[in-house]
């Protein structure tokens, strides 16, 4: 039997799924179909492992969460995934991880479906590996957006015509199934996910995303990440007067940069972050919202009360 491909997919797209195609017969795979047409049996994800907890006595069954820039994957691992379970128990959170996993669904009642993952393989990785995964996921998401847009132009969306346009059989079948289930898909929602993901890789990208194609934006990020870092220049003395935020940056980017500037080995004090961001022109509400969002996305965590640190 052919091994199913591992899709690079963001948490937000995966969690939007409410269609399951169940296989019939022995060893016939089942799939989760997302609104963009990902026909998923296995995934490859990377992000921040934010927590691991036992949901049964004895620690034989674990629930864990992996955060990417768009949302959170939920994973369940037990005695039948012995290697993955042991790995989860050994990792000190938060940590960057890469995971290959199988789709898992829970349907408590008709019309309601929750998705999660059953990990097959888990490895600790570094921030650079996570960033490369984000770029790959952006590219694959954009590819699916293109397939969905082409299908929605058709009078009768079908696999044959999508295949003629160069899309794979798996994606073509998934897109047709997605349109039947979800109807007209809001592709712009996923363009926003890409834009926000790129923003965290390279602050200021979001503004240029509107002016350039996604491919150009991704290429510029890849080039910058492959370029050797220049020696750091001495920091300029901070001005006491409030600075107006760069129009190309949003509050989350400003707050994240501020934490990086202030954090030491133990992190950055919450009060210092707030005061510095105020001098950069942000108000308290914007700072609070940005901090909460950054923690939800796994880019910062609170090692101790009142202190924040980047992952």
Q: Where are the domains of the chain?
A: 6-126, 135-226, 251-310
Contact assessment for residue 45 and residue 73, using Cβ atoms and an 8 Å cutoff: yes
Q: Which of 264, 157, 148, 141 lies closest to 191, judged by CA?
A: 141
Please report the pLDDT score of residue 226 as a whole number. 54
Please report the pLDDT score of residue 2 as a whole number. 56
Distances (CA, A) of 17 to 76, 178, 273, 308: 18, 9, 37, 33
Please report the pLDDT score of residue 196 as a whole number. 86
Please report the pLDDT score of residue 270 as a whole number. 85
Going by the DSSP 8-state scheme, the letter that residue 235 receives in this structure is P
Dihedral sign from CA coordinates of 152, 153, 154, 156: positive
> 268-298 burial, b if ≥16 CB within 10 A, otherwise e?
bebebbbebbeebebeeebbeebbebbbebb
Contact assessment for residue 38 and residue 45, using Cβ atoms and an 8 Å cutoff: no
Please report the pLDDT score of residue 56 as a whole number. 77
Please report the pLDDT score of residue 308 as a whole number. 83
Residues of the chain falling short of pLDDT 70? 1-3, 24-28, 58-59, 203-249, 304-305
Domain 6-126 class in CATH: mainly beta
The 3-class secondary structure across 93-135, one letter per residue, is CCEEEEEEEEEEEEEEECCEEEEEEEEEEEEECCHHHHHHHHH
Reported as a single tens digit per residue, the pLDDT across 212-227 is 455 555 555 555 555 5
Please report the pLDDT score of residue 241 as a whole number. 37
Tokens of 11: 């948490």
Q: How many other C-beta atoms can be found within 10 angstroms of the C-beta atom of residue 139?
A: 14
- What CATH number is given for 251-310 in this structure? 1.10.10.10
Q: Would you state the torsion angle of the CA atoms of residues 177, 9, 99, 198, taken in this order, to the nearest 10 degrees?
A: 180
Q: How far apart are CA 77 and CA 264, in angstroms?
A: 35
């Amino acid at each position: 039997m052919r091994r199913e491909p591992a899709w690079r997919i963001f948490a937000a797209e995966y969690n939007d799924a409410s269609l399951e195609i169940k296989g019939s017969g022995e060893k016939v795979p089942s799939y989760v179909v997302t609104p963009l047409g990902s026909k998923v049996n296995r995934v490859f994800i990377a992000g921040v492992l934010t927590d691991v907890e036992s949901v049964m006595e004895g620690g034989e069954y674990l629930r864990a969460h992996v955060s990417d820039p768009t949302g959170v994957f939920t994973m369940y691992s037990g005695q039948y995934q012995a290697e993955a379970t042991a790995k989860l128990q050994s990792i000190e959170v938060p940590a960057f991880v890469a995971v290959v996993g199988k789709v898992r669904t829970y349907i408590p009642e008709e019309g309601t479906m929750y998705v999660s993952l059953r990990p097959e393989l888990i490895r600790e990785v570094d921030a650079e590996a996570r960033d490369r995964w984000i770029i790959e996921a952006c590219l694959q998401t954009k590819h699916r957006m293109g397939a969905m847009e082409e299908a929605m132009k058709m009078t009768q969306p079908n696999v044959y015509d999508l295949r003629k346009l160069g899309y794979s059989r798996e994606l073509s079948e998934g897109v047709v199934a997605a349109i039947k289930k979800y109807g007209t898909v809001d592709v712009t929602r996923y363009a926003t996910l890409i834009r926000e993901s790129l923003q965290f890789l390279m602050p200021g990208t979001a503004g240029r995303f509107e002016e350039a194609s996604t491919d150009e934006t991704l290429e510029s990020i890849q080039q910058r990440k492959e370029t050797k870092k220049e020696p750091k220049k001495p920091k300029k003395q901070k001005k006491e007067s409030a600075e107006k935020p760069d129009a190309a940056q949003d509050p989350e980017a400003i707050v994240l940069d501020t934490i990086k500037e202030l954090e030491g080995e133990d992190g950055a004090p919450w009060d210092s972050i707030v005061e510095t961001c105020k001098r950069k022109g942000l108000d308290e509400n914007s700072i609070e919202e940005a901090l909460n969002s950054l923690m939800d996305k796994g880019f910062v965590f609170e090692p101790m009360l009142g202190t924040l640190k980047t992952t």
